Structure 1
Amino acid sequence: MSLFSFNPSRALARSLGAVLVTVPALLLAHGPEAKAVKARMDSLPATLKGINAQVQTTVAPQIVVANDSAHTLDILDAQGRSFLRINQQGVQADLASPAWYRSQTAARGVPLPKGVAQDAEPRWALVHKKPHWGWFDPRLRTDDIKVPHQVEHDGKPARLAEWSVPVRFDGEASALAGAFRYEPLPPGSFHSRLTSDATPVAGVTVGLSPGTVPAVHIHNQSGKPVVVADAQGMPHLRIGPGGSFMNTNRSNGEPRWVKVAGGSRYTWTEPRATFGALRAPADVIEAGQRARVASWSLPITVDGKPVAVKGVVDWLPGEQIAASGGHH
């Protein structure tokens, strides 16, 4: 992941890099951006000077934070326990905290490793050397937010409910906060899909869950390591055997793998599988037809041998989304 320039656009997610998550491939056909309820962040309080934060919708609402200050930012769970620390030394995670594992997934009912419990002794580990991170916070889930019939009928943006994530900054209590908003759907959306074989080699399957930033899902039953490189060509993620691991050595030396999940499945949000702008070209929108606007590929190896993982990005007009049941 590289330090990102903080702009309210998809470029933030691209420059942040592939934020790792562990979510099964059971998501909506057109992703969360086909929903009219969005989690949005309010302006940060003045006390959080040096902190940049934003909500990005990937497979679900996701908070991304950069800490450019000299102080430590602690992210607290619903019970007030810190599970993430972001400072100039990088990002630390409490591997004994249930919230650490739940914050990597957009799914509910995450199985917790042995020794992980709300009252367990903290076990801090460095998971990233740069002071920025992204996570799926359960407090931003939009599933249960209801849109009043009159609001939907009026078709105008409306603030429906509030959300808040408590933090400590330099030891002082504060919060990342915002609202759940009803926002009428745009004239269409981008839809990323795979064009390469879903089983590139025996025992390895690849899937894609669409969203503003799509999520790539790999299930590795081959008994051989699957390695995903980052945008600079450095080993970034290893899936199996024995779980999923993140490389915390961002220099040119040997990878230093830190286990981030058990099992043979892993999913990460992948900015390289997006279109490079917020809107399709004007002629594509005016045509009112599904159209291919980009193609992409990922550097993935199985047991050291490159495999083809490729896809395209299509523009879907709003009428096609509505016909498929994408509205909230």
Structure 2
Amino acid sequence: MRRPAEILQGGLLAALLLMAAPLAWSHGGGNEDVIVTIDAVPAALGKMRVELRKTLAPQLVLENTSGIPVEVVGSDGIAFLRLGPAGAEANINAPDWYRFYSTSGTPLPERLTKLKKGERLPEDWQAVSRSPAWGWFDARLDTESLKVPHKARDSALPVAFKSWKIPLRLAGRTQFLSGHFQTMPAVSGHAEARLTSAPELAPGVLLQVLQGPVPAFMLANDSHEPVRILDADGIPLLEIGPAGVRVNTRSSGWIGSGLAESGFAPMPVAAGDGPLWLIRSSTPRFTWLDPRAAMPLAAGKRRPTSWTIPYVRQASGGDITGKVQGTTQWISNRQMLPAGGTS
């Protein structure tokens, strides 16, 4: 899921290695030819937006604007996430809230680790975002521990060889998000993110997009005015300025990105809470992965995806708002062939 052009290669590589090091699953060691696909969403969930993304690992993103709360049920049968009119809420007594919090999870609190086998604590719902949307790294989508049948792996065509499902509770009834694990024997192309807005946000403030399964953004701010990148809730995700780089550990974008340190404890967010800043660097340059610019992980769907990342520049005359805009589109290998080339 931190450096300018002159040290980009070393800085970004170090950042990516640091992020990859603690992964508990889906850390790229095996089954790299296996992807996760998602089935059509049940009609009862028709007013909800469901996306399956590939960030540091397969990540489910659910947004519920239906006005009826929906609960996501963990692998142990305990609901760990609730989305509805109150925003996003976490059951902080559910072990899977911590296990699925990031790709490496977070340590279980003492009250959970000392529970006797089969014992449960009462549900304790705490607000974690004002928006009724959340993304989580569900271990039920782990591709690395799968045993892939030889017949599927040896096939020249994609083969779905195992299904998955995740229960949701809506109005007292259980619905399922479901899909399959599928082999992808040959890479037919790649997703490419491009800026459609100007890369210079202001004099001395330059943004670059770096390609990958989840695009990375590198912002260098050599001006005297701090710039804040906002998350999907419209609250600060990070701030880059003369004093260096700060990240807001209360930002749902930071919490759900998989970039937060594995030891960072989930912190409930109450209405009116301001940013909780953590200094990350004394240099006014930073590189981060942003799932907003990623192409949804769905087999056969290669439509261009438009995205927007809002920001605020803290100018001397008052805050100036702006938007970074771009598209992510699929570039096939055939498109990349030189004239007269063959596939």
TM range (shorter): 0.5 to 0.7
CA distance in 2, matches of 1:83, 1:100: 5
Residue 112 in structure 1 maps to residue 122 in structure 2: no
CA distance in 2, matches of 1:270, 1:33: 24
**Aligned partner letter, 2:86:** Q
Give the alignment's TM-score, normalised by structure 1: 0.57
Q: Deviations over 1:194-246 (max 9, x none)?
A: xxxxxxxxxxxxxxxx9522689xxxxxxxxxx97425884234359995677
CA drift at 1:143? 0.7
Q: Which residue of 2 aligns with 1:80?
A: 77
Q: 1:25 aligns with which of 20, 25, 49?
A: 20
Cα 1:32–1:185 shift into 2, 3 Å: farther
CA drift at 1:284? 7.5
Q: Which residue of 1 aligns with 2:182?
A: 181
Cα 1:215–1:112 shift into 2, 3 Å: farther
Q: Which residue of 2 aligns with 1:64?
A: 61
Listed as ranges, the matches of 1:17-56 within 5 Å are 24-26=19-21, 35-56=32-53
Contiguous gaps of at least 5 residues in structure 1: 1-22, 193-209, 217-226, 260-266, 289-318, 320-328
**Aligned partner letter, 1:174:** Q
Q: Which residue of 2 aligns with 1:298?
A: none
Q: Deviations over 1:62-92 (max 9, x none)?
A: 1111112121110011221111000122100
Cα 1:157–1:54 shift into 2, 3 Å: same
Cα 1:42–1:153 shift into 2, 3 Å: same
Partner SS, residue 106 of structure 1:
coil
- Identical pairs, percent: 30
Cα 1:212–1:131 shift into 2, 3 Å: same
CA distance in 2, matches of 1:158, 1:32: 21
Residue 279 in structure 1 maps to residue 300 in structure 2: no
Cα 1:127–1:258 shift into 2, 3 Å: farther
Contiguous gaps of at least 5 residues in structure 2: 1-17, 114-118, 194-210, 218-226, 238-246, 250-259, 279-286, 295-325
CA distance in 2, matches of 1:51, 1:29: 27
Q: Which residue of 2 aligns with 1:161?
A: 162
Partner SS, residue 277 of structure 1:
strand
Cα 1:45–1:280 shift into 2, 3 Å: closer
Listed as ranges, the matches of 1:1-328 within 5 Å are 24-26=19-21, 35-107=32-104, 110-116=106-112, 119-189=120-190, 212-213=213-214, 229-230=229-230, 234-236=235-237, 237-238=247-248, 243=264, 248=269, 255=274, 257=276, 269-271=289-291, 276-280=327-331, 285-286=336-337
**Aligned partner letter, 2:132:** P
CA distance in 1, matches of 2:163, 2:192: 29
CA distance in 2, matches of 1:29, 1:174: 26
What is the root-mean-square deviation of aligned Cα atoms in Å? Answer: 4.4
CA distance in 2, matches of 1:281, 1:188: 4
Partner SS, residue 151 of structure 1:
helix
**Aligned partner letter, 2:290:** E
What is the count of residue pairs matched by the alignment?
A: 231
**Aligned partner letter, 1:155:** A
Cα 1:57–1:42 shift into 2, 3 Å: same
Bigger radius of gyration among the two: 2
